[in-house]
Each structure stands twice: as structure tokens, then as C-alpha cells.
Amino acid sequence: MVRINSKGKGYDMKKKFIFILLIIISLNFSKISFAANDENIYDKIDLFGEVLDKINKEYVEEINQSDAMDAAINGVLQSLDPYSAYMSPETLKEMETETSGKFGGLGIEVGMEFGVVKVITPMDGSPAEKEGVKAGDYIVKINGIQVQGKTLSEAVELMRGPVGSTLEITIRRKGVKKALVFEITREIIEVKSVKSKIIDDSVGYIRLTAFNENSSNQIKNKIKKFKKNKINKYILDLRNNPGGLLSQAVKISDFFLNNGEIVSTKSRKSSENRKYFAKKGDIIDGETLVVLINYGSASASEIVAGALKDHKRAIVIGNNSYGKGSVQSIITLKNKGAIRLTISKYYLPSGKSISGTGIIPDIEIVESSDEFRIGTETDNQLDFAITLLNG
């Protein structure tokens, strides 16, 4: 995910109620201006109030009105796109804990698609990855409970639990007829965004698993150490990297480019459109570079892979990437919760959007089997890249 932090003003309950209803109406009557339909909008507001009153009085069970309003807000946001969502104060606090770099869980980045939870990527070395969960899997049941019909927040809540406890998830995978069932033990997840090693005394291998605040500095330091060892061939591994900060994607792309556009973002207001360019200076002095991607490479990963591919600066190897070409902002609210809202879309130097299509590798190498694990003896994509560089 590409994320930019910002702050927004909260609403009192009355304003929040009207705001929700206005957006609901806008979704039902997209491309029709509010100004031209004021009477219709207020009729719909009255109708919604009537429906809510009927639910409160006649629904078979008592409902928690606060939870109902949270669900309404979240429903509006999730109907916009798979990445926008409402975060209650509790959910926001949990997210802040997770982004601090250490937390308990399964170790998967998830989104919502077709009413079920979709795995964007399992984190390196996480319980989910060890058990065989893959990017693109659909989680249809959590501990036997159907996910379809639930919000993403509700589904994530079902997956939370004490460290050391077990969880059963039922998965549907493309190309596999039968549902797959995994029993996973929750662990403390430590997010280490950069790993490196020297392969065959000649290839500098850097694995980037997230775009955090200090990722670019870590990569710069790793490359300095490689150069002291006279390394002249490099692999940047972005597989199963769900993204992160846009600023870091720009900095890391800039490391390997001498000039030219890296990425552009287009917002609702043309005045907020941005273009990012590379500055002179290639950190590896034009040496050969391979970038590895797969379906778990999303957002910021796609910015880097796409920019280097468009400028013919790197050979991109692996599977087609995820195809998430949008930027989300975390906007805090008066109740100490927040909304995650898509505020812009980004475009590659070629002018192409990757939304829904992703980055197509220069050389497609599919995973060898279901036993495939990144960085192990089963990693045929890395083996191919090493052979190519040494060949």
C-alpha cells in the first residue's frame, strides 16, 4: 500500500449522519451533481431516517446503533474502492501498533475483493508464509465462520488473537479446485524491511519487504558494503512487498536512475497533481541490475519496478505484479478514529496506469510448484536471475 499521512477535521454526530447519507446518495446517482438534485437528496435522507427507525423498532433483534453507524460509514468507503475504509479508534490504535514494527498475528497484508478477504502478500518468514499461504489467495472462512458479507475490519478482527493461539483459515486459490485449509499459530511479527547477502562472490542481493521510513537509507548502506567487496551485479527483490511510503519508492528508484520521470500522481484537483524526477547519479554506476517481482508486489513496489523497466535500467523477472495504482491517505477524525481514503492514482513514466493490470515482467518465470518459498532451494525465480547475471 502507498500511504501518505494527513489530518482531517471530525464531525459531530449530526454532521456525520448527513455526510454519510450524502455519500450514499452520490454512489446511487454517480455523475449527477448534488446541486441539480437537492430535493431528491433530502427525500432520500428522510427515507433513510425512516428505514433506520423501522429497523430500530421492528428488527428481530436489538441493534447497537453505534455499530450500525460505523458499518454504514465503512460500507460507503469500501464501495468506493477496495482500499478505502473506516477505522474505529480501536482499529486505528492497532494499525499504529502494527506499523511500529512489531506485533502479533499471522503476518499477511490483506484487502477486500468480491466480498471476501484477498491476500495481497504474506510477509517474509511469517506464520502464514511458512504454512503456504500465497499472494492472491481468497480467505473464505475464518475458524469456520463465513467471511462473505463481513467488512474487512470485521474479518481482520476474527483473525486477531493472543500470540501462541491457533487459527484455522479456509482458502480458495486460482487453479485449485478444492478449498485449502490452513491451521496457523499466531506469532510476534517483526517487520525487517531490508535483507541482503552476497551470492557466488559476485552478485549483491537485496530483499526489500516494505517501504518504511528508513528503507532507502538501509539500501544505500547495503550497497556501500557491496561496493567495498567489488560487487558489480545486483538483484533487487521486491516479491511479496505490498508497498508503503511513496517518498521511499521515489528515493529508491532515484538510486538507480540518472534522470527522467519516476512516477506521477493525479488527484481529483489538477492543482494537486505531482511529478517526481530522478536526480543525476546512479548509486551502482550503471552496473547490471535485475528486479524480481510477483503477484505479491504491489503499489510502491510497482512504482520502482515500473520506473526501472520503463527507463530500461533493469531487467524485470518473475510474475505479473498485483496492479494497485493508487495512493491512500490516513485522515484522522474527531472521535480519534480515521478514514483511509484513496486521494490519487499514480502513473508510470510511459503514462500507463497499473491499476488492475500490474507490471508485466521482461522475463516471466512462474513459481516452480506449490512448495515454492522465496529464498529457499525451491526459489527457481532467484536461481534464474543468478544464472542470467553469471551467464
Domain residue spans in the chain? 8-86, 90-190, 194-390
Cα distance between residue 241 and residue 120, in whole Å: 9
Which three three-digit cell numbers place residue 111?
484487502
To the nearest 10 degrees (0 to 180), the angle between helices 13-28 and 38-58 is: 110
The one catalytic residue among 299, 301, 321, 326: 299
Cα distance between residue 312 and residue 318, in whole Å: 16
Amino acid sitting at position 328: Q
Nearest CA to 283 out of 258, 308, 265, 256 is that of: 256
- Rounded to the nearest 5 degrees, what angle is found at the Cα of 212, between the Cα atoms of 310 and 373? 75
Residue 53 and residue 63 in contact, taking contact as beta carbons nearer than 8 Å: no
Write the class of the CATH domain 90-190. mainly beta
299 is catalytic: yes
| pTM of the entire predicted model | 0.72
The one catalytic residue among 310, 321, 329, 379: 310
Residue 220 and residue 98 in contact, taking contact as beta carbons nearer than 8 Å: no
The one catalytic residue among 124, 321, 324, 379: 324
Tens-place pLDDT, residues 363-374: 999 998 888 989
For every residue of 50-99, which 3-state class applies, written as one string? HHHHHHHHHCCCCCCHHHHHHHHHHHHHHHHCCCCEEECHHHHHHHHHHH
324 is catalytic: yes
Residue 385 and residue 292 in contact, taking contact as beta carbons nearer than 8 Å: yes
**pLDDT reported for residue 291:** 98
Q: CA-CA distances (angstroms) from residue 225 to 21, 194, 197, 334?
A: 57, 14, 10, 47
**pLDDT reported for residue 105:** 80
130 is catalytic: no
- In the structure, what pLDDT confidence band is assigned to residue 69 with cuts at 50, 70 and 90? confident
Residue written as grid cell 480515521: 338
pLDDT at 95 over 80: no
State which CATH number among 3.30.420.40, 3.30.70.1290, 1.10.10.10, 3.90.226.10 fits the domain covering 194-390: 3.90.226.10
Tens-place pLDDT, residues 272-291: 899 999 999 999 999 999 99
Half-sphere exposure of 268 (CA within 13 A, CB side): 3
